[in-house]
Structure 1
Amino acid sequence: MLDVGTVYLVAAGALLLVALAVGVRALVRIFREGRERRRKRREGELDRYTKDPEYDREPPDPEAASRSTCPQCGAENDASFAFCRECAAPLGPGA
């Protein structure tokens, strides 16, 4: 007769194997898609920055990454920062 502990271990092991198989399949698909995109870029079929058909994202704008200077220490910071990366002084309006 099987005890509850053995049945639990067998069920947990089976579920872990199923989860591992699903995870491996997903990683293989991601790897293959990346390899295919890399091949298309090398052959000129795909631009470096194109809209992602799945998410329809815009390509990054190189001028959007503007910099701002900290009024307290003069360090260069990304425009999206609320505080200076060097001295932690507040940046932006009212600083």
Structure 2
Amino acid sequence: MLDVGTVYLVAAGALLLAALAVGLRALVGVFREGRERSRKRREGELERYTMDPVYDREPPDSDGVAETPSTCPQCGADNDAEFTFCRECAAPLGPDP
């Protein structure tokens, strides 16, 4: 006769295998989507930079660096233009959400 411990281990193992299969399927989907987006960018079907919906930012210049350095609104520290957060106080440098 089966004891409770064995039944528990079999059930837990089956649930873990099911969760692993679902997680693996999701990871494969993410990987395939990333490859497809890369292919579309290479072939020119998808723009390299688009408007950032979270911060409403323009894409960076062609050299990848914004034109002017930014000053932290919280502490006043000068930061490089490509920084998203202040180097002194870690406050966000982008527009308020």
Mark yes or no: TM-score above 0.5.
Answer: yes
Q: TM-score, with normalisation over the residues of structure 1?
A: 0.63
Write the letter of the residue equivalent to 2:79. Answer: E
RCO greater where, 1 or 2, for CA within 8 Å and sep 6 or more? 2
Structure 1 gap ranges (5+): 91-95
Deviation digits for residues 42-79 of structure 1, max 9, x if unmatched? 01011012479xxxx3774246xx611555xx542789
Larger radius of gyration: 1
Structure 2 gap ranges (5+): 61-65, 92-97
Q: What's the RMSD between the two structures over aligned residues?
A: 3.5
Deviation digits for residues 14-53 of structure 1, max 9, x if unmatched? 000000000000000000000000000001011012479x
**Structure 1 residues 1-95: aligned runs within 5 Å:** 1-50=1-50, 57=53, 60-61=57-58, 62=60, 67-68=70-71, 70-71=75-76, 74-76=77-79, 85-86=87-88, 88=89
Q: Which runs of 4+ in 1 moved over 4 A?
A: 77-81
Q: TM-score, with normalisation over the residues of structure 2?
A: 0.61
